[in-house]
Amino acid sequence: MSVEDYTGGSTQNSDVLVVTTNDAPGHDVKQVIGEVFGLTVRSRNIGAQLGAGLKSVIGGELKGLTKTLVQARSEAIERLVEAARARGANAVLAVRYDVNTAHDSGTEICAYGTAAVIAPSA
């Protein structure tokens, strides 16, 4: 597996800064816009499920499920950034993830945070 298969997050070149902290060091919050979120629901892949069943017997990482969850988290973050941008934000502060089972048929991943307008500190 390459690093892209098991890591994620927003891109460094994005016009919207996404951070898990309550502020962005070196920046002042000029305006708080409010909560934004990005949501995706992924169905379970039958191949990954069969592999996971076998791995649960012998142990080890469930690489197919890991890759699927990374893709889903990345999609949720992309949607979060789109929502923030649409509301005029250039940052999302205090970003968190929520993961739930959706009716035993898939996984719901929600990325949420506070959309804000920030500017470099003087």
pLDDT tens sequence across 8-61: 666 667 899 999 999 999 999 999 999 999 999 988 665 555 555 555 667 777
pTM for the model stands at: 0.81
Task: Write down the pLDDT at residue 48.
Answer: 53
Which among 43, 46, 34 has a CA at the least distance from the CA of 84?
34
Superfamily of domain 3-120: Hypothetical protein apc22750. Chain B (3.30.110.70)
pLDDT tens, position by position, 78-107: 999 999 999 999 999 999 999 988 777 788
Task: Write down the pLDDT at residue 120.
Answer: 96
Task: Write down the pLDDT at residue 45.
Answer: 60
Residue carrying structure tokens 């898939």: 106
The dihedrals phi and psi of 74, each to the nearest 5 degrees, come to -65, -40
Q: Give the whole-angstrom CA distance, residue 78 versus residue 81.
A: 5
Provide the 3-class DSSP secondary structure of residue 59. Answer: coil
102 forms beta bridges with 106
